[in-house]
Structure 1
């Protein structure tokens, strides 16, 4: 079961996805979510790290790139909340660092940072 909680922040509607289940297991799942969010009038979304398949954080399989491309194509800004320090992969750390320099995709530690 997935819930979409709306946050109003600086006259912007932000969707926070709340679920105990993995929501994004594939690029198709991401596209479904993006379409859902987009048609509800959101242009920003917050999702917890636990809602992504662990494969997302293994850059070798290209899933992260495919998923994030869906958000970029619709110009939906995405914040992923989690503890990213636990990942050993230097390429993933570099990817997170580079993403956080921009405004499209951000990896943050808590909801207040995401907002």
Structure 2
């Protein structure tokens, strides 16, 4: 029987992303996982203000370390037009996707971990 990829939520890992130093803590906690799920509750207000650089820094590190990540946000445009565009741009990204439900996140992360 094939092992299922280890997918965890940030909450299960006991981490959140509210400032730049939190990014390193998240990467350390998620290292070696088959997938990471971040919910709106796991992300501080600065994440949604793209000028802060927090989202960009997080996405760059997740990509550099090869950690497949699903961001669960019921309404991609709720945080502004630019944030909605960012979500749309990641529709086909191999490591970072925006989804509307945790079930969708788990389905994509399970599929993305397959050979």
TM value normalised by structure 2: 0.77
What is the root-mean-square deviation in Å for CA atoms of aligned residues?
Answer: 2.3
The separation in 2 between residues aligned to 1:10 and 1:111, in whole angstroms, is 20
Question: Higher relative contact order at CA 8 Å, sep ≥6: structure 1 or structure 2?
Answer: 2
1:23 to partner: Cα distance: 1.4
Say whether residues 1:62 and 2:53 are aligned partners. yes
What do residues 55-99 of structure 1 show as CA deviations (whole Å, max 9, x unaligned)? 111112221101111211110011111223452522111110011
Residue 44 of structure 1 is matched in structure 2 by 35
Residue 28 of structure 2 is matched in structure 1 by 35
Structure 2 residue ranges without an equivalent (≥5): 107-115
Structure 1 residue ranges without an equivalent (≥5): 1-8
Which aligned segments of 4 or more residues in structure 1 are displaced greater than 4 angstroms?
none
> Hey, which of these two has a bigger chunk of helix by percent?
2
1:11 to partner: Cα distance: 2.5
- Aligned positions, number: 104
What is the aligned counterpart of 1:99 among 90, 94, 103?
90
1:43 to partner: Cα distance: 3.2
> Hey, which of these two has a bigger chunk of strand by percent?
1
